[in-house]
Amino acid sequence: MKNMLLEKIEYKEDATDLGTWRRFVYPSGELFEEFTSYQRYFGLPLLHYTRGRCPETGKRIVARGIVAIGRLAVGVVAIGQASLGVVALGQLAIGLAFGLGQATTGVLAVGQLALGVLFGLGQFTTGYVAIGQLAFGKYVLAQFGAGLHVWDVRGASPIARQFFRSLIP
C-alpha cells in the first residue's frame, strides 16, 4: 500500500444548505468524514463533526465548534471519547458546568469517576453533595463516605438523613 501522506488527497465534497461535508474512503474501506456548518459564532462553527483519521496527516482531527462531535471534541457542548466543554459528554469528559462520562469533572458531574464541585453522582465521587459507592463531600450518601454529614453503611448523621430525605417529594 502506498503512503497516503505523500499523495494529493481527492476528497468528495458536498455542499448542503447547512454546511459542507468532506469525505474520503481509504482503499481499506476506512472512512474519514468531516462536517462544518456555515453558521458561525465567535469564530467557531455552530456544528463541527469529525470521524476517522485525516488522510493528509494520518491523525484524528479535533472537532471544534459550539457543538463539537468527534472522537476528540472541544466546544460549548462537546461530545466525544475525550471531550472538553461547558457541557461535556464522553468517556473522558471535562465539563466546566456539567460533565457526563466514565471519568468526568464539572460543577455537576455524573460518571463512574465523577469529580463534581456542587454535585457528584457516581461510583467514586466528590462534591458539595456527593452520592456514590465511595463519596467525599459536605452532604454524602454512599456505601462508604467521608465528609461533614455522612449517611453510609456505618450509620447516618441526623443532618444527612434530613437533607437527603428532603430531596424526595
Burial of 94 (0-12, 13-18, 19+ CB in 10 A): buried
109-135 pLDDT per residue, tens: 999 999 999 999 999 999 999 999 999
49-104 pLDDT per residue, tens: 999 999 888 899 999 999 999 999 999 999 999 999 999 999 999 999 999 999 99
Give the 3-state secondary structure of residue 158: helix
| pTM of the entire predicted model | 0.86
Burial of 91 (0-12, 13-18, 19+ CB in 10 A): middle
